[in-house]
Amino acid sequence: MVWAWSGRGTGELSRKIHRYVRREVLRDGDRPRAILLNNWEATYFDFDEDKIVSLFDGARDLGMELFLLDDGWFGSKHPRDDDSQGLGDWQTDPRKLPNGLEVLPRKAGEKGLRFGLWFEPEMVNPRSELFEQHPDWLIQQPKREMQLQRNQMVLDLANPDAREFAFRVLHDTLCANPGISYVKWDCNRYLTQPGSPSLGRDRQSHLQVEYVRALYGIMERLAELHPGVEVMMCSGGGGRVDYGAMRFAHELWPSDMTDPVKRIFIQWGYSFFYPAMAVANHVTRWGKRPLKFAFDVAMSGRLGMDMDVDKLCCGDRAFARSAIEAYKGIREVVQFGELYRLESPYDGGRSSLMYLRAERAVVFAYSPSEAPAAPLRLKGLDPERRYHVREINLPLGSRGVRRTVEGRSLMETGLPLPAFGPFGSGVYEVVPEP
């Protein structure tokens, strides 16, 4: 159990929890998180070495720092061309990557990028060599037909051999490829028919406890042996975000829903329990929202992109480059600052929040629909100081809001904001006068 108390509402409560999580839960909670490009929504399973390497150039051009190769890089006899086969066979697919996996971290490094890789080590497809060789390694109940979810089953981690296999999947790959510095740890189905061939008849009720203990044991060994490798907990989007699992990770994937309109609500909920540095937010094409709106929403956490940057038009590419540069300028305020939730997305057409660090603040305001012009009251500032307010992440050529205001006025009267149309948004930097 984790207990916290506040005499001044949920804002103070979550700020206390954020400090605790950065200090006691997250790995490297004092280190800024990198800006990431993921290939999943750019290519899905359809890629080869040339395509992935081409994305490196786009990532570097936009100012990215880390590239993540997602699902689909493995399988020989049963190549991972869709989600129906290959899970469990963690050898590089020779058709997609004829030069092996090791060439990709090297080529990414030549472009100034770190390299990350997707794993789902606890899972197996029936169409896999692992299943053919070890059908007894699966969680299952005797005399019952297997129930597949996403065409896959779960390895019985209560079985020492299956547990060692899951550990070796990651450990051996990381040892053979020291250029990999990031892992996306996925888990895309939950347990059904909870039976363990490795446990006795009188210990079947122990399975789910033994499974979690074994899983945490694997994660702990990997963290000790590969301390420089960052881990994202994905688990189908939104799973394994408990503080127990997150002791072994750096960040979480809050949801597979990446439409920024939905993400405003999703990220608002997570903000009660996790600091922004732990919440991975990616700019995607889901919902077909304006690119600025998508960036503004994603910039309030750990920023990333999940799209084919080769297909961006010149204007979108220029804006994305500018937005990433703007995020670098506010990253430490967002990732380490104290959070103040200002306007709830559940209460009206506009929602807003701000981060404050060393008297420097960053304010985010979003409007999924329409919102009239109205002042936005800030919090946490010094009422006696004057602050320069500057709108950032603007469309190229725009000027936006610029003013100098006393802290007391910003908190009592508010920062005047214009009317927002559907999918309108603004990001404002608030800096005290010297």
Give the active site residue among 46, 256, 310, 382: 256
Of 177, 182, 191, 426, the closest CA to residue 295 belongs to 426
Of 96, 110, 116, 98, the closest CA to residue 51 belongs to 96
Give the active site residue among 70, 89, 93, 186: 186
Using the structure block, give the residue that is written with the tokens 């997305």.
345
Torsion of CA 251, 256, 258, 263, to 10 degrees: -70
Return the structure tokens found at 380: 């946490």
- Amino acid making up residue 269: G
Angstrom distance (rounded) from CA 293 to CA 261 = 9
Q: Is 256 a known active-site residue?
A: yes
Query: DSSP letters of 197-262?
Result: TTS-GGGGGGHHHHHHHHHHHHHHHHHHH-TT-EEEE-TTTT-S-STTGGGG-SEE---S---HHH
The gap from C-alpha 367 to its chain's centroid, in whole angstroms, comes to 23
Q: CA Rg, the chain, in Å?
A: 23
Residues recognised as catalytic: 186, 256
